[in-house]
Amino acid sequence: MIVRLDKYLANLWLVSRRSIGSYIKLWKIYINWEIAKKSDLKIKDWDIISFDWKDIEVKDKIYIILNKPKWYISSNIDEFWYKSFRHLIQDCPYVNMMNVAGRLDQDTEWLLLLTNDWDFIHEIISPRHKEEKEYYVELDNLITDEEISNLEQWVELDDGYKTMPAKVKRISEKIIKLIIVEWKYHQDKRMAESVWNKVIYLRRDRIWDWNIDGLELWQWKYLTPTDN
């Protein structure tokens, strides 16, 4: 990747492109520890920008796993009384470039993938790729073998949509592991409702081959697509 300095800093939301010149005049921007003299200076991957005495490594594509707690949303901005996931990665210099690859409801915990790579997001959420999503599901009522069998074959959601086959593992009388390959709105909860049950706790343990890999709630880490 080769990009202009002012564009990259603007993408990070650190400063507007118009005001970068004033920072350069004050010697507050360095590239690889040399003073930046022009706002249109070309930078590339792995260069180090020192902006206002903070070092930032130039990266084209960034990928993050976040262990999301309840009551944070997958939106890039706060909505009503819910805070954006971005509040959870404020110590990441690329926080304002991050978008969600596969949303989680505000009351659902654990695995959230974040990136600025829109091709990666499309690959993850596109139904034709059939990427597995694994959920730990606690139910309000007992779930029978027949109801599990129905989930594994197909169920009809409240809008008439018939789901693709799922994988279901019983953990206890009211707890299952559910693996699906679709991204329908509130699909896990609506699948439970289709067999006359209700989800009382939900977490996402895995997308594809990625899991939280020991991350505690609120923690995050970088990853690369080759980590899967």
Residue 161 tokens, joined = 């949509």
- Marked catalytic residue, from 6, 55, 91, 105: 105
CA angle 83, 89, 90 (to 5 degrees): 85
Annotated active-site residue 105? The verdict is: yes
Are 56 and 49 spatial neighbours (Cβ–Cβ below 8 Å)?
Answer: yes
Question: Which residues in 164-191 are b (16+ Cβ under 10 Å) and which e?
Answer: eebebeeeeebebebbbeeeeeebbbbb
- Locus of tokens 């009384």: 81
Catalytically active residues are 105
